Amino acid sequence: MQNELEIKSSTLEHVLEVEAQIPEFGAPKKADDLEKRLANAKMLPLVAYHRGKPIAYKLGYALNEDTFYSWLGAVIPAYRGRGIARALLLRQEAWCEAEGFSAIEVKTMNQFKTMLQMLISHDYHIVSVKENADPRLVKIRCRKLLG
């Protein structure tokens, strides 16, 4: 499959195509939601394609000239466990370094254990936690220094 996998900067339409197939997200984001949040921001919409079909994405934008925020990301369930999220993460990090960012921030929740484990294994550090009565919904902010 790795030979048939292509990761590239893409369109918000392809991001939304993947987003619509993620059962954990409930109601998928809409184009207006993304465009409003990303208006006037330096952004990177990375999409992974398998045989030309969008199967995963990682979307982020500049918080300021030093910090990039990795906002959203997902892999279609049929393609999970194949290293695609890791490949997207590494591609995003390389782009951020090349663009001169000194840090990447990302938020996740306890319910996304695989994501949290991946972040920690790639030198992201927990910098804050927002409590919730439901432990699965505890929000965790992580940060990685680049360079």
The pLDDT score that the predictor gives to residue 13 is: 94
pLDDT score for 1: 61
Which single residue is written with the structure tokens 């995003």?
92
Low-confidence residues in the chain, pLDDT < 50: none
pLDDT at 28: 75
Q: At what angle do helices 31-38 and 12-19 cross, to 10 degrees?
A: 130
Q: pTM for the whole thing?
A: 0.93
Q: Looking at 1-137, which runs of residues are DSSP E strands?
A: 5-9, 43-50, 53-62, 67-75, 103-109, 125-130
Query: How confident is the model at residue 142, as a pLDDT?
Result: 98
SS3 11: coil
The predicted structure's pLDDT at residue 121: 97
